[in-house]
Amino acid sequence: MSEQETDGRRRRSMASRDRIIDAVLALIDEDEGIPGAEAIAARAGVGLRSLFRHFGDLDGLYVTVIDRIGLRFTHLVRPYESPDWQGQVREGLERRMVMFEGALRYRRFAEAYRQHSATMRHGLDALNRMLRGRLEGIVPQEVRAGDEIWFEQLDLWLSLESYSRLRGLQNLDHDQTKAVISAAVAALLAAKN
């Protein structure tokens, strides 16, 4: 097989893989619940065999999809501009509001699928640990050590779970949700002045 044939095959394989990922994202965007292999393959225009050859199983596919979604938000982990920790918490809040709104539909999918998948549970837990770790990196140890309850409240208000509850269960729009969370965080920060 020539190098040109190998490159062509590789490009077709990558295009097929991308179509499968795009199909999952489209089905989630259409709020079709947890998309099954048949629906994904049909949307992508590939056979089931091709889907499983690329990803092994649905867990492998869904983890790849979550990774792709995560790439949309990598710009939000840039260094903070504020020189003080309270300003950095406020910057972090702004960034999280953008990320949470953009990821909300996918989070609902991931939460629905997590009961079927240890891999998805691990991925969601890793996201929560990452968000908490970023917050721990901002708030000085001496502030956290003196008042663990205060820090747990701050972590709760800045969580995807709080955002999701306000948007989903309490039917607030993005701006209302942001206002509620901002007010709670502002009160917590004021308590540390």
Name the pTM for this structure. Answer: 0.75
CB 1 within 8 A of CB 11: no
43 has pLDDT over 90: yes
What is the 8-class DSSP label of residue 47? -
Higher pLDDT, 18 or 31: 18
106 has pLDDT over 80: no
| Rounded Cα distance, 12 and 6, in Å | 10
176 has pLDDT over 80: yes
Q: What average pLDDT does range 44-72 have in this prediction?
A: 86
**N- to C-terminal Cα separation, the chain:** 70
What pLDDT band is residue 188 in, cutting at 50, 70 and 90?
A: very high
Q: Which two tokens stand for residue 3?
A: 């190098």
